[in-house]
Amino acid sequence: MTAQPIPVVFVAGVSRGIGAATAQTLLARDFQVVGASRSRPDFTHPRFQWIETDLNDDAAVGAAFSAVERTHGRLDGLINSAGQYYAGALEEHSMEQVQAQFDAYFFSVVRTIRAALPLLRAQHSGRIINIGSTACFAPIPFHSIYTASKFALQGLSEALRFELAPLGIQVTIVQTTSVATGAVAHVQLAPRAVADYAPARSHAIEAFRAGAGSGHDPLWLAQRIARLMSQARLAPSYRFGVLARFLYGLRNWAPATVLQDVTARAFLPRS
């Protein structure tokens, strides 16, 4: 009998947080993992290959997937978990920050998917898992460009699912509330402060930080993401956690004002 090849998964954004936890969980489940990031992760494993990659550089991303093809000759999964976020009122952000936010959560994902598709199409198999958040459907005040980038990722994932299904390639997006990745320590604030937005801005940012600081353990989410690599069929999206499912229910089955009221109570000061 011919031995089954070890499945190969490419994790974009592997240096820390959800990406690092997912890579290590997959390694524990006997996957071969290729990780891409600008910074070297703090773990090693015989089945782990790290490729220093700027996910905002076409040539670098293309070279990373060429290395996967040369080394492994196959690709079974792509997990997009890279990102960073910006906080502040839209008017306060520079256009450079708006571009950088979409680079982090949208254009880098487009770039890795485009680079992975020739290999996936040749196999007529594989799966793409994009890591979204509840911001895909539940806007966060004073995180407007973050929310917009997540909405864009949601739309991309849903449309791409139709394009790739006839080719044997499955696409899904994962949505959850805060995960305690330490990313709040790296939040970039808008470069200018407009007095009219205070104190609502400060209240919203602190509420977001508090939620992220006490959020789910990255390993909790990583275990659920890893399970998706072994499921026979993927749903269009997955909401992990009670709050994620609650917010999704409000978005889809309650009057629009209900989600607005819940969001205002969570992020804005009481008037």
Quick: pLDDT tens for 230-260: 999 999 999 999 989 999 999 999 999 999 9
Phi, psi of 79 (to 5 degrees): -115, 115
- For the stretch 161-177, pLDDT in tens is 999 999 999 999 999 88
User: Crossing angle for the helix pair 144-164 and 95-102, nearest 10 degrees?
Assistant: 30
Q: Of residues 215 and 267, which shows the higher confidence score? A: 267
**Full-model pTM:** 0.94
CA distance 135 to 83: 14
Mean pLDDT of all residues in 46-60: 97
Q: Of residues 180 and 261, which shows the higher confidence score? A: 261
Question: Residue 9 is inside which H or E element, if any?
Answer: strand 8-12
Q: What is the pLDDT of residue 181?
A: 66
CA distance 30 to 74: 16
Q: What is the pLDDT of residue 187?
A: 80
Is the distance from CB of 128 to CB of 169 less than 8 angstroms? yes
pLDDT of 48 strictly over 90: yes
Q: Which of helix, strand or coil describes residue 170? A: strand
Q: What is the pLDDT of residue 260?
A: 93
Q: What is the pLDDT of residue 83?
A: 80
- Tell me the pairing of strands 127-131 and 48-52: unpaired
Place of tokens 């026979």: 232
- For the stretch 179-236, pLDDT in tens is 766 666 678 899 999 999 998 999 999 888 887 766 788 999 999 999 999 999 999 9
Is the distance from CB of 127 to CB of 175 less than 8 angstroms? no
CA distance 89 to 141: 8
Residue 36 region, left (φ>0) first, then alpha (ψ -120 to 50), else beta? beta
CA geometry: angle 119, 159, 127, nearest 5 deg: 35
Q: What is the pLDDT of residue 254?
A: 93
pLDDT of 91 strictly over 60: yes
Q: Where are the alpha helices (DSSP H) in the chain?
A: 17-28, 58-72, 95-102, 108-123, 144-164, 200-213, 218-228, 242-253, 256-267
Task: Tell me the pLDDT band of 271, cut-offs 50, 70 and 90.
Answer: low
